[in-house]
Amino acid sequence: MLCPEVWDFDSALKNTHIHRKSGNEILEHCEDVISNHHLNHHVSVLISDCESIPEDLSNILKTDCEYYRVHLPLASLIDKEFIDLFILAGGEVSALSIGTRLDADDCSAALLPSGHFVLSVGGDRFRSLGIEGVATSPDRYGIVIDLRKPYFKPGKSNYDRTLRSLSKFDPVNFDFIIAWEPHDEKICPSTIAKYLADKGYRVQQCQPHFEYKVDNAVSIPSLRETPETELLEWLGAHSLGVFRKDSSITSPETAEYLSSYEAPTDCTKSKKTILFQWTGFFTRKRFVHLFKKLRHYSSEKLKDSSWISLTVQGFMDSPVAWKCTPHGLYRNSDEQYTIFIEKEKLQCMAVLPSNGKIK
């Protein structure tokens, strides 16, 4: 300890970039961002100025968005029959273990739509498992198994060894949330639930939680003039209801004492601002669909100076953040993105981890 550090403590939370792009390449970039974010928990859509509540948008994540909560052992996810039926046939399975904290619990697991089975395990557990993996943070290891590889099948030593280690796993059963996007529209997504129920696992159907708020006469900051950080801060403050009248604030002096936050100055008054929020578990395909709808809406019904924002957040405890990149253990923000859409042009502002750039 040459000089003990007592003065400057870095917050170390921020490992993200704000990308601001516009033009033609932006569309591709946005779709890339959306389809690389596999496990989604929360969506909020803000329409800054509109006449009436767009019904088609509010219904979009309501129908056929059920997901299932299943109590099953890890090994059943690499069961050959399961892989054949739901992954190799062309569908996309998204699954995530819940109630497993990434920084405190020994193991959290996820199954990505790309066909990767991802585990994040503690050091002792990793050494006893005997499966190949890489160190992601001190005494934490990430294991990625590609279930689509042709050699990953019974009879091959790799498969057998993996199955054997996962069968010995303690605790045996994990709580998973599972959603399946079939390759064929004729097949019902609930097939996976039936399959798992037939196997004897406890299956519970879950619905995404939906709510919306309408605010009248809100000052909306201009998308072009306001700096990114201020815009994101305003969006967060509005979504959380910071501007709403509160009983805890009794006088202007109290408000001044409590907070020095000021909204951006460059604002326009809007008649009606709508905020949609969905919470639950969503597959990436839903968002590609939602994004298309939003673009369609913006080009047809959106007023000239107004804009739409789409914010998507992942799970704090998922073992991966983007694609297959391991989730930062001590950082909280590398699993979300925000996209802004204007009437004519599309503007993307994505909050991305700086180490896992999307190209």
Partner 1 sequence: MVRFKNRYITVEVDPVKLPKNEPWPLKTSKLYRALMAEVENLHGDFGVASITSGLAVKYCNKETRIAVIRCRHGPHRFVATSIPFIHNVGKDDVSVNTLYTGATLHQCYKFIKAYQENHLQKLYSSLKTEEERQEFAKSVLTLPEARNICVRETPDENNV
Partner 2 sequence: MEFCYLDITLDLAVEKSISAVSFKGHVIKCVKNVFGEFGASHKIDVLKYDLINRSAIIRCPSTFYVKLLSALTLSGEFEGLACCYRLNRSSPYLLSLLSNSRTYEHC
Binding site for partner 1 (CB under 8 A): 2-7
Q: What's the closest the beta carbon of residue 11 comes to partner 1, in angstroms?
A: 17
Out of 63, 157, 216, 247, which residue is the one contacting partner 2 (CB under 8 A)? Answer: 247
Q: What's the closest the beta carbon of residue 2 comes to partner 1, in angstroms?
A: 6
Kindly identify the residues of this chain, within the stretch 50-69, that bind partner 2 according to CB under 8 A. Answer: 67, 69
53 binds, among partner 1, partner 2, none (CB under 5 to 8 A by kind): none
**Hey, what are 220's tokens?**
């909306």
Q: Which CB atom, from 5 or from 262, has the smaller least distance to partner 1?
A: 5
Closest CA to 223 of 214, 232, 215: 232
Q: What's the closest the beta carbon of residue 11 comes to partner 2, in angstroms?
A: 4
Q: Which CB atom, from 2 or from 240, has the smaller least distance to partner 1?
A: 2
The crossing angle, in degrees rounded to 10, of helices 25-36 and 284-300 is 150
227 binds, among partner 2, partner 1, none (CB under 5 to 8 A by kind): none
Q: Which CB atom, from 3 or from 217, has the smaller least distance to partner 1?
A: 3
Residue 17 sits in the site that holds partner 2 (CB under 8 A): no
Residue 85 sits in the site that holds partner 2 (CB under 8 A): no
Residue 355 sits in the site that holds partner 2 (CB under 8 A): no
d(CA 145, CA 119): 9
d(CA 274, CA 53): 7
Q: According to the 3-state scheme, what is the secondary structure of the chain? A: CCCCCCCCCCCCCCCEEEEEEECCHHHHHHHHHHHHCCCEEEEEEEECCCCCCCHHHHCCCCCCCCEEEEEEEHHHHHCHHHHHHHHHCCCEEEEEECCCCCCCCCEEEEECCCCEEEEEEEHHHHHHHCCCCEEEECCEEEEEEECCCCCCCCCCHHHHHHHHHHHCCCCCEEEEEEEEECCCCCCCCCHHHHHHHHCCCEEEEECCEEEEEEEEEEEEECCCCCCHHHHHHHHHHHHHCCCCCCCCCCCHHHHHHHCCCCCCCCEEEEEEEEEEEEEEEECHHHHHHHHHHHHHHHHHCCCCCCEEEEEEEECCCCCECCCCCECCCCCCCCCEEEEEEECCCEEEEEEEECCCCCC
Q: Which CB atom, from 17 or from 149, has the smaller least distance to partner 2?
A: 17
Residue 261 sits in the site that holds partner 2 (CB under 8 A): yes
Q: Which residues contact 260 (CB under 8 A, 6 or more apart)?
A: none
Out of 41, 140, 286, 327, which residue is the one contacting partner 2 (CB under 8 A)? Answer: 41
**Hey, what are 184's tokens?**
């064929």
299 binds, among partner 1, partner 2, none (CB under 5 to 8 A by kind): none
Residue 224 sits in the site that holds partner 2 (CB under 8 A): no
Contact region for partner 2 (CB under 8 A) — 23-31, 156-164, 216-224, 249-257?
Answer: 249-257
Per-residue contact flags (x/-) with partner 2 for residues 98 to 127, judged by CB under 8 A: x--x--------------------------
Asked whether 22 and 345 are in contact (CB, 8 A), the reply is yes
142 binds, among partner 2, partner 1, none (CB under 5 to 8 A by kind): none
Q: Which CB atom, from 239 or from 305, has the smaller least distance to partner 2?
A: 239
Kindly identify the residues of this chain, within the stretch 152-191, that bind partner 2 according to CB under 8 A. Answer: 177
Residue 8 sits in the site that holds partner 2 (CB under 8 A): yes
Kindly identify the residues of this chain, within the stretch 197-216, that bind partner 2 according to CB under 8 A. Answer: 204, 206-207
Q: Which CB atom, from 4 or from 252, has the smaller least distance to partner 1?
A: 4
Q: Which positions lie near partner 2, rule CB under 8 A?
A: 8-14, 16, 41-42, 44, 67, 69, 98, 101, 177, 204, 206-207, 229, 232-233, 235-237, 239-242, 246-249, 254, 257-261, 277, 279-281, 311, 313-317, 332-333, 336, 338, 351
